Amino acid sequence: MKLGQWLGVIAFVASLYIIWQIRQLLLLLFTAIVLAVAINQLVRQLEKTGIQRIWAVWLSLGIVVTLLAGFFWLIVPPFVQQFQQLLALFPTGIERIQQGINWLEERIQGSLIPEIPDVNGFVQQLQPLSTNLLGRAIAFFSSSINMVIELLLVLVLTLMLLINPQPYRQGFVRCFPSFYRHRVDWILSRCNEGLGSWTVGALIEMVFIAAFSAIGLWILQVPLVLAHAVLAGLLNFIPNIGPTLSVVFPMAIAFLDAPWKAGAVLILYIVIQQLESYWLTPTVMAKQVALLPAVTLTAQIFFATIFGALGLLIALPLTVVAKTWIEEALFQDVLDRWKSAAS
């Protein structure tokens, strides 16, 4: 290769290395973009009523902050109270488990269950685990300052992108060759539409999941119905993992009331997830952004491995954007043209 080509390869490799080193910063920037696109849906609706954009932005932010404050007021205090009750009743639960084991030992021959663990020994084995968890909790709180700084950075970037997004978009477009800038601008518009559609679809699914959960938990007479339902709807934002996490606390609270209710809650959430997978998601996302289940799961594992917990949280928006760029820039602009040239 010529010297210019070698320099191009070196510059490309150096660019990839720099991007890899600042990947966490780029993820925070993308998080701000996702938040800006989501809030911009509300800003546009307010602008249609005749409100100037700057006031529409601040009004939208006020609505979002109010909803978040209401969420924490609704969820956190009852959960803290119930969690304290759960810890207080933990010895009672252990005693019930021991009674169940004793009942099994009385009715089943010892040869069939030769190694049923003793509860006291099990609790002793949990002590090193609890010490380890305590150490991890201390390490987590020690890194809280970095989390606060990152959160403030995301909020500031979101506000800047909301108030005046065009200069940032134009600056990104100018990073491409002049003959391709119009195409890049069009792809960015497609990404914006895809993120907006995905946001609307995700919100619809959250509302339905929360409503179904509330109805089922109310029928079972599980305490904190509204708090559990809201939590189930929000955790549905994280496919595959969120629904699993959302069932843990309702089952624990139901177990305090009656052990059979814990199993009933588990069955309820399984039924809700089946309804979402086979009816709600195909119906809602058919007109929004469709992602194959295998692609969704693979994207979650991939982005969680690279970016950590935040990557898992915004894996789907990243996948929506990546899907748009692959379809437009790779398939249509490169592969489809090769096929046309060959024919």
Residue 163 lies in a domain: yes
Q: Give 142's Cβ-side CA count (13 Å radius).
A: 6
CB 107 within 8 A of CB 116: no
Residue 108 lies in a domain: no
DSSP assigned state of 291: -
What pLDDT, on a 0 to 100 scale, did the predictor assign at position 85? 64
- State residue 14 phi and psi, 5-degree precision: -65, -40
267/241 Cα distance (integer angstroms): 17
Residue 278 lies in a domain: yes
53/44 Cα distance (integer angstroms): 8
pLDDT along the chain (343 residues), means of 10: 71 81 86 88 86 88 86 74 64 62 62 50 53 58 72 87 88 87 91 85 86 91 82 80 82 79 89 81 63 77 82 84 87 74 48
Residue 134 lies in a domain: yes
What pLDDT, on a 0 to 100 scale, did the predictor assign at position 341? 47
Q: Of 273, 268, 258, which is closest to residue 223 (Cα–Cα)?
A: 258
Q: What per-residue string of b and e applies to 152-168 under the rule 16 or more CB within 10 Å gives b?
A: eebeebbbebbeeeeee
Residue 343 lies in a domain: no
Residue 3 lies in a domain: no
Which domain covers residue 93, as residue numbers? 24-97+126-337
- Structural domain count of the chain: 1
Residue 6 lies in a domain: no
120/95 Cα distance (integer angstroms): 10
What pLDDT, on a 0 to 100 scale, did the predictor assign at position 91? 64
311/302 Cα distance (integer angstroms): 9
Residue 212 lies in a domain: yes
